[in-house]
Structure 1
Amino acid sequence: MNLSKFLLAVALFAFSFAALAGNPAVYEKSAKLPLVKAVKLVSQKLDDAGYAVVDELAISENLKRMAKKWGEDYNRNQLEGITSLVFCSGWYVNQVSNLDPALLGLCPLHVTLTHKAGVTTVLFNRPTAIAAGSPAEKVLREVEDEVTQAIEAALNAK
């Protein structure tokens, strides 16, 4: 194999690997759990970590109402369920408001749980992806760490 073919192969491999790596701004954790059970566990662990879960949205149930209107464009990924949990912590809101009020749009936070083929996946948009360079970055890193630890604990508890 000549050098140009070798370099092309390496580049294609690297590109393919990067594409599989997902979005670094989104934390993602999956487990073989029913959606309802995962929602309950994640909600409890967020509460245990000091975050008030203020709403639970059954997104997939709302989307089903649009299936006929959207036709073949409805649920192309064949997700069997989508639920979001909306949550917040008064402590972190106060800290962010003191350090960088422009980032108060991060409260409330949310996680979205999807379910397909027996596997539930929790998705969490990392606050640090938005807060980079902000005076509130350190506080939001703590929040991100607490939330991801709560998700890990929930999905590992099964």
Structure 2
Amino acid sequence: MKRTLLLFLALACSTLAQAAPAVYQTSAKTPLAKATKAVTGKLEDAGYAVVDELTISENLKRMAQKWGPDYNRNKLEGITSLVFCNGWYVNQVSNLDPSLLGLCPLHVTLTHKAGVTTVLFNRPTALAAGSPAEKVLKEAESEVIQAIEAALNGK
């Protein structure tokens, strides 16, 4: 019995270790503005409407004096968020599992430090496991990640 339990625990831990992290992350040595423009273009090429670009770091700078030493402790040189959506996917999710409509619009956050821009994307599949909309969200997630990779790799 103990061996069976140990085997089960080992397999469970192995499966968890292989699962994709909830946040996709990739980086490239490129200026933030260039990466933002490239990611926007590739998302649009993939059929997503980029509906907003938020320069978060500029908004945070206004609070630097108020927050004092707690302001920007990681010394990030820039933070920008892109808000985007694809109407077809929204319709599919609304048909399959309306409770997951909170995922739309999607967003990516780009950070910049020491010449390196990092793109962060919360994977919709991290919330959609077991949902009737899981398959369609996995497809959207894959498209977004491909767009990000193409943007940062100049493809």
TM class by smaller structure? 0.7 to 0.9
| Aligned mate of 1:124, from 97, 121, 132 | 121
- How far did residue 52 of structure 1 move? 0.1
Name the SS of the counterpart of 1:30 in structure 2. strand
Name the SS of the counterpart of 2:130 in structure 1. coil
| TM-score, normalising length: structure 2 | 0.87
| CA distance in structure 2 between the aligned counterparts of 1:50 and 1:33, rounded to whole angstroms | 24
| Aligned mate of 2:53, from 56, 71, 78 | 56
| CA distance in structure 1 between the aligned counterparts of 2:104 and 2:22, rounded to whole angstroms | 17
Q: 1:145 is matched by which residue type in structure 2? A: S
Name the SS of the counterpart of 2:108 in structure 1. strand
Name the SS of the counterpart of 1:157 in structure 2. coil
RMSD: 1.2
For residue 33 of structure 1, what is the aligned residue in structure 2? Answer: 30
Unaligned runs of 5+ in 2: 1-16
| CA distance in structure 2 between the aligned counterparts of 1:142 and 1:26, rounded to whole angstroms | 16
Q: 2:134 is matched by which residue type in structure 1? A: E
- How far did residue 32 of structure 1 move? 0.3
| CA distance in structure 2 between the aligned counterparts of 1:153 and 1:142, rounded to whole angstroms | 16
- How far did residue 30 of structure 1 move? 0.2
Give 1:1-158 correspondences, 5 Å limit: 24-157=21-154
Q: 1:36 is matched by which residue type in structure 2? A: A
- How far did residue 136 of structure 1 move? 0.1
* Runs of 4+ deviating beyond 3 Å: none
Name the SS of the counterpart of 2:67 in structure 1. helix
Q: 1:126 is matched by which residue type in structure 2? A: R
| CA distance in structure 2 between the aligned counterparts of 1:148 and 1:54, rounded to whole angstroms | 18
Unaligned runs of 5+ in 1: 1-17
| CA distance in structure 1 between the aligned counterparts of 2:140 and 2:74, rounded to whole angstroms | 31
- How far did residue 97 of structure 1 move? 0.2
| TM-score, normalising length: structure 1 | 0.85
| CA distance in structure 1 between the aligned counterparts of 2:129 and 2:30, rounded to whole angstroms | 34
- How far did residue 155 of structure 1 move? 0.1
| CA distance in structure 2 between the aligned counterparts of 1:92 and 1:123, rounded to whole angstroms | 20
| CA distance in structure 2 between the aligned counterparts of 1:63 and 1:114, rounded to whole angstroms | 13
